[in-house]
Amino acid sequence: MGPPKSGPTGVYIKSQFLTKPQSAPPGTDLTGRAAIITGASSGLGFHACRHLLSLGLSRLVMAVRSPERGAAAASTLRAEYPSATIDVWSLEMTSYDSILSFVRRVESDDELPRLDIAILNAAVIKADFALVPATGHETTIQVNYLSTALLAVLLLPALKSKTLPGTPGRLTIVNSTAAYSPTLPNRSAVPFLSFFDDLAKTPYLFFDRYCTSKLLMHVFLVRLATHVDPREVVVNIVDPGYCKGSGLHHETKGVVGWCFDAAKTLTGRSPEEGAWTYVDAAAVKDGESHGCFVVDWKIGP
């Protein structure tokens, strides 16, 4: 997973204007398989659920922050795919207790006897600096990096043990080419992560912080892949591109919010197209994608 061959603008132009979106190849069949998707009640997470079900997925766990919105989304999918088993499980990514409780359910054979795919899609962009009271960490770093990394590691045993023998589990973390853009003013700080929690040490620029959280996830994925046998679990990260229908920027207001909305309207992929990148990374790409960044349906930028 090396640096891109062009700058952020070049990467954006290639992704949004020069790449033809793809669905899953003919013959892709997920019959009998089970998947977890976080952030599944809306946006790309919801459409990824729909795509997996359209390919025959037998069991879906929708991990959601709001059980009410999750129930509404699940009701829609159950009407479309009545033969599938679709469950809604609560998961609050700002809470380690919630993550641990969720993983205990995953580990229970009574709750989930099989698990083949996990797509970690939940993420935030916070317009204003805020600490998570329970952890003391800045919210963007907490959700996009610390909590996602914890959940990824804790899901590995189930992904190893609950798939069919000889078939690796699949762990895909949704990330972004925004990882190429952070300034990292505290890159030499020791300890490093605590500097993000103190405005006196590191100023808060919301998009730069988002980019930083994505860079940290890149670094984590590279290291994680060295400790995981791809014959047991294939781990990768994927960039869906800039997409309409994503609630990621919902907190950005004023001129900045207008710019994000305008860019989505003019250049964004549809949420259905963006969600196909998830399916490609998690269910189509083979072990060659282990430890890699899947961008525009290709391995590596």
pLDDT tens digits, 36-61: 999 999 999 999 999 999 999 999 99
Ordered by start, the domain boundaries in the chain are 29-243+271-285
Mean pLDDT of 182-207: 86
Which tokens sit at 115? Answer: 């698990």
pLDDT tens digits, 76-111: 999 999 999 999 999 999 999 999 999 999 999 999
pLDDT band of 243, cuts 50, 70, 90: confident
Coil/strand/helix, residue 148: helix
pLDDT band of 210, cuts 50, 70, 90: very high
The mean of the pLDDT values for the chain is 90
> What pLDDT is attached to residue 8?
60
Beta-sheet strand order (sheet of 298-299): 85-90, 59-64, 34-38, 117-120, 169-174, 233-239, 293-295, 298-299
- Amino acid identity, position 215: L
Is the pLDDT confidence value at 173 over 70?
A: yes
For residue 224, count CB atoms less than 10 angstroms from its CB and return exposed for 0-12, middle for 13-18, buried for 19 or more: buried
Any idea what the Cα angle at residue 155 is, between residues 149 and 156, rounded to 5°?
95
Cα(141)–Cα(138) distance, rounded to whole angstroms? 6
* 216 in Cβ contact with 141 (< 8 Å): yes
Is the pLDDT confidence value at 12 over 90?
A: no
Q: Which residues contact 99 (CB under 8 A, 6 or more apart)?
A: 91, 92, 93, 147, 150, 151, 154
Is the pLDDT confidence value at 248 over 70?
A: no
Is the pLDDT confidence value at 122 over 70?
A: yes
pLDDT band of 265, cuts 50, 70, 90: low
In 3D space, the residue among 146, 139, 148 whose CA is nearest the CA of residue 172 turns out to be 148
Q: Given this structure, which CATH class describes domain 29-243+271-285?
A: alpha beta
Asked which of 51-65, 170-184, 273-287 is least confident by mean pLDDT, the reply is: 170-184
> What pLDDT is attached to residue 95?
98
Cα(66)–Cα(190) distance, rounded to whole angstroms? 37
pTM for this one?
0.90
What residues act catalytically?
210, 214
Q: Which position has the higher pLDDT, 183 or 76?
A: 76
- In b/e form, how buried is each residue of 72-105, taking b as 16+ CB within 10 angstroms? ebbeebeeebeebebbbbebbbbbbebbeebbeb
